[in-house]
Amino acid sequence: MAKSQNEEGNTQHIGQAIQQLLSRYHIKAKFDEANLLASWEKFAGKPVAKRTKKLYIRGKVLFVELESPSMKNDLNLHKAQIIEILQKEFGKDVVKEIVIM
């Protein structure tokens, strides 16, 4: 794995260095939001992702606009599970609620 030098001359993994950089510039939350949106298909599945018209995050709320009424209903029934999965993957500060449109 790639390593970098920190101020004290100690080595650290590049992943740790990136996380420190994101935290230092207060952009970790935005980075995690962008990562979540980019990996929507992985979490929602291909059928849901194909029928997703809009997907965005505002104020820790994930807004999902779907074409299919039956998928809207299914996603509404599983909102708590989806939130739990997303929080486990990206942390509790990225998404606190989901609105299905």
The set of residues, in sequence order, having a beta carbon less than 8 Å from that of 9 and lying 6+ positions away, is none
% of the chain with per-residue pLDDT over 70: 91
The one-letter amino acid at 83 = I
Helices (H), ranges, the chain = 14-24, 28-38, 40-44, 46-50, 69-77, 79-90
Q: Give the pLDDT of residue 4.
A: 47
More confident residue, 66 or 8: 66
- Flag whether 47 is in a domain: yes
Q: Higher model confidence: residue 28 or residue 2? A: 28
Which DSSP symbol is given to 7? T
pLDDT band at residue 22 under the 50/70/90 scheme: confident
Quote the pLDDT of residue 23.
86
Q: Indicate whether 39 belongs to any domain.
A: yes
Q: Does residue 86 lie within any of the structural domains?
A: yes
pLDDT of residue 9: 63
Domain membership flag for residue 46: yes
| C-alpha–C-alpha distance, residues 77 and 26, integer Å | 34
CA distances 51 to 40, 46, 69, 70, Å, are 12, 9, 10, 11
User: Does the structure show a pLDDT above 60 at 8?
Assistant: no
pTM of the model as a whole: 0.79
66: CATH: 3.30.70
Q: Is pLDDT of 16 > 80?
A: yes
